[in-house]
Amino acid sequence: MVVAKLHEAGLRAEHAYCAALASVGISFLSWAASVKAEKAGTDRADRWGIFIGEWAPTFFGLGLALSQYENGGSRWKK
C-alpha cells in the first residue's frame, strides 16, 4: 500500500497538511509574481496560480489518508 510505504519512509499527516497550506501560499505568490514579471498578462498568471493551486487537494487527501493510517483505522488493518 502506498500510504503504508510513505508512512514507513517518515512522511506524516502533518507534513502533508503543511505542504497543502504551503501550496496555497505558493499559488498566490506565483500568480502575483507572474502578473508583475511577465508581459503575457493575467492569462499566464492565472494558469500558474491554478497549476500550483491544484496541488493542495492532493496533499490534503494524502494527509487524511496518513492520518487514518496513523490512527489505526479499520481500513488499514490486515
Identify the band that residue 75 occupies on the pLDDT scale cut at 50, 70 and 90. Answer: low
Q: Are 70 and 7 in contact (CB under 8 A)?
A: yes
Residues 49, 17: Cα–Cα separation, whole Å: 19
Residues 67, 16: Cα–Cα separation, whole Å: 10
Q: Which pLDDT belongs to residue 65?
A: 94
Q: Which pLDDT belongs to residue 6?
A: 93
CB atoms inside a 10 Å sphere around CB 42: 12
| Mean pLDDT to the nearest integer, 8-12 | 94
* 78 pLDDT higher than 80: no
pLDDT digits (tens, 9 = 90+) for 19-60: 999 999 998 888 888 877 777 667 777 777 888 888 999 999
